[in-house]
Amino acid sequence: MHLVNKLKMIYIINLATTTPTNSKMTRKNYNVNTLQEQVKAITKQYLEDIGHCSDANVYHKIIESVEKSIFETILEFTNGNQKEASTLSGVSRNTIRSKLEKHNINI
């Protein structure tokens, strides 16, 4: 399964089935910590899956995959509204447009 799809699936399942156990931890902090743990686990699994291949571009491949997924998901969430996507993501509309082009994302 593609790395980004694994990340999405694990995050959604974990978010839906668990709640913060530490009463001092806010939902926002819990989600960020959980996401970081999931990214770490999926990255580790990805590295184990590819083994010791000579591909020195793992970082860039992961970042590109995640970046594309983020923009696709945000645009789906905002029904393709680039202004709302810009506000939600904290990225300028010009950057949104360039990422759409870079990743060949059609809205």
Sequential pLDDT tens for the chain (107 residues): 466 655 655 555 555 544 545 445 566 665 667 888 888 888 888 888 887 776 668 888 888 888 999 999 999 999 999 999 999 999 999 999 999 999 999 87
Give the chain's count of helices (H) and strands (E).
5, 0
> Average pLDDT over the chain, rounded to whole?
78
Q: What is the pLDDT of residue 26?
A: 60
Q: How far apart are CA 30 and CA 103, in angstroms?
A: 30
Q: What is the pLDDT of residue 59?
A: 85
Q: What is the pLDDT of residue 35?
A: 82
Q: What is the pLDDT of residue 75?
A: 93
Q: How far apart are CA 49 and CA 20, in angstroms?
A: 31
Q: What is the pLDDT of residue 5?
A: 59
Q: What is the pLDDT of residue 1?
A: 47
Q: Are 67 and 103 in contact (CB under 8 A)?
A: yes
Q: How far apart are CA 11 and CA 39, in angstroms?
A: 9
Q: How far is CA 53 from the centre of its chain?
A: 24
Q: Are 68 and 105 in contact (CB under 8 A)?
A: yes
Task: Please give the backbone phi and psi of residue 92, each rounded to the nearest 5 degrees, phi first.
Answer: -65, 155
- Give the DSSP H/E element, type plus range, for residue 76: helix 58-77
